[in-house]
Amino acid sequence: MNSERYVGVMSGTSLDGVDAVVAEFTGNACNFIGAVHRDFSEELRAELFALQQSGRNEIARASRAANDLADAYAEAIAAVLANAGIAASDVVAAGVHGQTIRHQPDEGWTVQLNNAARVAELAGVTVVSDFRSRDIAAGGQGAPLVPAFHSALFASADTHRVVVNIGGIANLTDLPPASTQGTVRGFDTGPGNALMDLWTARHRGMPFDRDGAWAREGRVDAVLLIALLAEPYFAVAPPKSTGRDLFNADWLDANLRERTRHGGLTDADVQATLLSLTVNSIADAVVTRCPGATEVLVCGGGAHNGAMMAALAAALAPRAVSTTAAHGVAPEHVEALAFAWLARETLTGRAGNLPAVTGARGPRVLGAVTPR
């Protein structure tokens, strides 16, 4: 059976930078070869945040940011291939997701900044991009798209697993035992790290709360947590997806105004409560939407937050909670690997979406192809 090498490139809602991986696929087997991470410049990160809301001259600004992203993607592709000793000509394609700045599937559109032609030109590889649009055109949410890959990589014959990806936004994939022929399902559960990162940047001047250390200093405020969990999105039945369009600074500040009017709430208390919001919304989704699950695998940046992992383990007991590293894949590599896999599905003419996850009218081949 032939083996093929693909690159996967991802910059997620956490806006921390670019992750690029190179992997070799043989049948259903995925052999990880290497990875690199490149932080965004402060200027680009600030612009990507700003472009999530309407603003002056935003079309020109978005186009310039897309070019800057393309340069960062191409550099990451070159770096991961150089580190692995692989020539660009030996790669079938790179799956490049782009940077989501707006996501309104209920209105029939989503925006991922990218310039696939520029990436192909600079990196010398075929690029598969724009993965979400076809699913949305078919009536789906366009997200999450990683459950099909989670199923290929982590499904078990006899264990009911749930994969939870905690990036800026958190999503889960329900993987019933393969022996039961159950349906794979998935959806965005709500905020992952996005609100905690926002609060940490605002009050600590740091991009994130390393290991949840600051959250550990605070106490969870029950009144605020109840108000946050009252957000209608949490009660909506899947298929559903969300993003910073909803869970952003305005949403947080609106909830804080009423609570802080009564005083007695420290900045660390807010951070602890935001961590609890992420944990509770994930745990509730697992308990109510994934009955029978006995094992939870966590990936994404949240998997490296010790405070969050401990809280998740407590909230989900007696289910076993670990990271995907226990199954041979580093948590920070899963999502980029997924887009390498999705690029392969595109070029082989196989559907990359799961209609039970996104709500699309049926399976669809995803992505647009830009030749090298």
User: Please, which residues have CB within 8 angstroms of residue 214's CB and are 6 or more apart in sequence?
Assistant: 200, 204, 268, 271
Burial of 116 (C-beta count, 10 Å sphere; 0-12/13-18/19+): buried
The DSSP code sequence of 286-355 is HHHHSTT--EEEEESGGGG-HHHHHHHHHHHTTSEEEEGGGGT--GGGHHHHHHHHHHHHHHTT-----H
* Domain coordinates in residue numbering, the chain: 4-143+332-370, 147-327
| Pairwise CA distance, residues 201 & 65, whole Å | 22
User: Please, which residues have CB within 8 angstroms of residue 276's CB and are 6 or more apart in sequence?
Assistant: 220, 225, 311
Instruction: Give yes or no for residue 2 having a pLDDT over 80.
Output: no
The amino acid that residue 326 corresponds to is: A
Q: What is the mean pLDDT of the chain?
A: 96
The DSSP code sequence of 4-26 is EEEEEEE--TT-SEEEEEEEEEE
Instruction: Give yes or no for residue 187 having a pLDDT over 70.
Output: yes
- Gyration radius of the chain over CA positions: 20
Tell me which CATH code domain 147-327 carries: 3.30.420.40
Instruction: Give yes or no for residue 260 having a pLDDT over 80.
Output: no
Task: Specify the pTM.
Answer: 0.94
% of the chain surpassing 90 pLDDT: 93
Instruction: Enumerate the H helices of 110-193 as residue ranges.
Output: 116-123, 133-137, 147-154
Query: For the residues 236-245, what does the mean pLDDT come to?
Result: 96
Least confident of 7-11, 257-261, 342-346: 257-261
| Pairwise CA distance, residues 301 & 332, whole Å | 6
* 4 phi, psi to nearest 5 deg: -135, 140
CATH architecture of 4-143+332-370: 2-Layer Sandwich (3.30)
Instruction: Give yes or no for residue 335 having a pLDDT over 70.
Output: yes
User: Please, which residues have CB within 8 angstroms of residue 53's CB and are 6 or more apart in sequence?
Assistant: none
Q: Do domains 4-143+332-370 and 147-327 have the same CATH topology?
A: yes
Instruction: Give yes or no for residue 262 having a pLDDT over 70.
Output: no
Pairing of strands 99-104, 109-113: antiparallel
> What pLDDT is stored for residue 302 in this prediction?
97
> What pLDDT is stored for residue 119 in this prediction?
98
What pLDDT, in 10s, does the model give residues 67-80? 999 999 999 999 99
Question: Is residue 139 a contact partner of residue 151, using CB atoms and an 8 Å limit?
Answer: no
User: Please, which residues have CB within 8 angstroms of residue 23's CB and are 6 or more apart in sequence?
Assistant: 5, 6, 7, 8, 30, 31, 32, 33, 337, 340, 341
